[in-house]
Amino acid sequence: MPKQVDHEERREEIAQALWRVVDQQGWGRTTMRVVAHEAGVSLGQLQHYFASRREMLTFARELAAEHTSDRVERSIRSLPRPPHPRDALEAALTEMLPLHPDSRATSRLHAAFVLESLHDPQLHEQARAGLRAGRDRVEQIIRSAMADGSIADDRDAAVETDLLLALSGFAPLLDLSVVTEDAARKAIHVHLERLFAVE
């Protein structure tokens, strides 16, 4: 009997094929035909699962976000319990950077989605909502750390949140070898040490 492939499983396989194509060739060279070849399916089969390039990109981006969240959760679970908020933030920021094949692929897919969203109103709202939700989660951690005395209470939580999120901008600098992995890790570590230094 031929193996029965679950519909959602096949969609995820295609999405991961899209990650690989974007990682290796960039979004500009990504066509549905190229992704179908990478996924080992015909173009017709791929179009059965995704009616358009945009639909395929949207699903792949959602899956990439789930994978990133899973990596962050695993990294935080590996910390001593309960984890210090400084260490949890360091783990989260580090896992968002393209420091190994999986995070590199999801980081580049996310960048492709953001660039595409600049010229597509529907994708623009999705990207904006996702980034806003992520920012809100980081600000909640900052405010909680201020409330329990881990961060000085005279800090501006909104500004500190924005400064932390700016550290995720290391992705293109790493991809283009402007900074090294060690330098990016050190910058994140030093910034967090300063943020959590309470007089």
Please write the tens of the pLDDT for every residue from 177-190: 999 999 999 999 99
Residue 4 domain-assigned?
A: no
Would 95 be classed as within a structural domain?
Answer: yes
Contact 89, 192 (CB under 8 A): yes
Angle formed by the axes of helices 53-77 and 85-95, nearest 10°: 140
75 within a domain of the structure (yes/no): yes
CB 96 within 8 A of CB 174: no
b/e code 151-162 from CB counts within 10 Å (16+ = b): beeeeebeebbe
Confidence (pLDDT) at 5: 65
* The pLDDT of residue 199 is above 80: no
**Domain membership flag for residue 112:** yes
Range of the domain at 191: 53-195
With 50 as the cut, is the pLDDT of residue 61 above it? yes
CATH number of the domain that residue 123 is part of: 1.10.357.10
pLDDT digits (tens, 9 = 90+) for 62-107: 999 999 899 999 999 999 988 899 999 999 999 889 998 889 999 9
Number of domains in the chain: 1
